[in-house]
């Protein structure tokens, strides 16, 4: 056997997990496609991307957004899924209804099994990233396909038409998570970063055990530099599911990954700084 053929056969026998992000580009590098690909790499997962929008963005906020055409979004999806495939797919910014519809068609056509939906409606500075029609289309079309949906408290309230001021206790949070299951996803990971308290507590619920809730508690770090936290959480879950983790395990590990990244967050520019995506691996190496 020729050396090249032998090496090719050996390479094909070793297959890395594959994860795809369908999201917007963040020129500042802290969120969106850039955060997702950094996260995939940290978990040893091969990352691919479908760009839905290009943003001019820095630590001070979003200055401009140019949407990629829905046809181009669908073409990117077809290119990746028809040739390479993906063990898990994560969605973020889908700016208009047509983008959501294009993604839903592709996911259905290629029978995507591990879909993680981050229902991101706005950037950290409040800039809208999805119009109202897109948000409703995501709720109607993508949530019933989702393995895990990862809203924060404002996003969960928007999905359910609830006023965030009505959520006052952890019991209220658990009820909210259970109500989100009725929208069709198999699991809900309701993030507690907007919740007050000494600890950051997230809630996990599963359609397999709808009456049961799990609370994942962790330290709350006193830093304003949390740009990209939601994107990173969802992409960490996607990476772990791509590697074969169960949803509860993936959400628990993703929380630990993000907590480490927040603990090493740093100032960047004149505004809100970024997480440090390498912190989780660095801490593990230190502990060995």
Q: Which residues of 206-226 are buried (b: 16+ CB within 10 A; e: fewer)?
A: beeeeeebbebebebeeeebb
Instruction: State residue 246 phi and psi, 5-degree precision.
Output: -75, 155
Closest CA to 167 of 201, 218, 211, 124: 201
- Active-site residue list: 191, 226, 228-231
> Rounded to a whole number, what is the largest CA-CA distance in the chain?
69
- How many angstroms separate the CA atoms of 200 and 104, rounded? 33
**What sign does the dihedral 193-194-198-199 (CA atoms) show?**
negative
**Pair 200, 189: CB distance under 8 Å:** no
Which helix (H) or strand (E) element contains residue 79? helix 70-83
Contact partners, residue 122, CB within 8 Å, separation at least 6: 128, 129
Which residues does residue 116 pair with via DSSP β-bridges, in sequence order? 90, 148
Work out the burial of residue 16: count CB atoms within 10 Å of its CB; fewer than 13 is exposed, 13-18 middle, 19 or more buried: exposed
Question: Which sign, positive or negative, has the C-alpha torsion 64, 66, 67, 72?
Answer: negative
């Amino acid at each position: 056997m020729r050396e090249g053929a032998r090496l090719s056969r050996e390479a094909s026998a070793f297959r890395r997990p594959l994860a795809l992000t369908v999201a917007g580009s963040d020129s500042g590098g802290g969120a969106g496609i850039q955060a997702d690909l950094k996260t995939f790499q940290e978990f040893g997962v091969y990352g691919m991307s479908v760009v839905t929008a290009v943003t001019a963005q820095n630590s001070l906020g979003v200055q401009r957004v140019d949407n990629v055409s829905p046809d181009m979004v669908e073409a990117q999806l077809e290119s990746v899924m028809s040739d390479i495939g993906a063990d898990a797919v994560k969605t973020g910014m889908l700016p208009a209804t047509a983008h959501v519809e294009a993604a839903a068609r592709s996911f259905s056509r290629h029978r995507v099994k591990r879909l993680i939906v981050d229902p991101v409606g706005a950037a950290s500075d409040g800039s809208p990233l999805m119009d109202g029609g897109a948000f409703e289309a995501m709720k109607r079309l993508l949530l019933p396909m989702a393995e895990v949906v990862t809203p924060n408290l404002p996003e969960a309230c928007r999905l359910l038409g609830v006023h965030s001021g009505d959520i006052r206790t952890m019991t209220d949070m658990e009820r909210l998570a259970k109500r989100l299951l009725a929208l069709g996803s198999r699991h809900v990971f309701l993030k507690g970063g907007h919740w007050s308290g000494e600890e950051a507590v997230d809630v996990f619920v599963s359609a397999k055990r709808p009456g049961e809730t799990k609370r994942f508690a962790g330290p709350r770090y006193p830093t304003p530099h949390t740009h990209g936290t939601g994107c990173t959480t969802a992409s960490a879950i996607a990476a772990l599911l791509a590697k074969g983790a169960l949803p509860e395990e993936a959400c628990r590990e993703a929380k630990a990954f993000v907590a480490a990244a927040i603990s090493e967050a740093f100032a960047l520019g004149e505004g809100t700084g970024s997480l440090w995506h390498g912190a989780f691996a660095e801490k593990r190496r230190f502990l060995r």
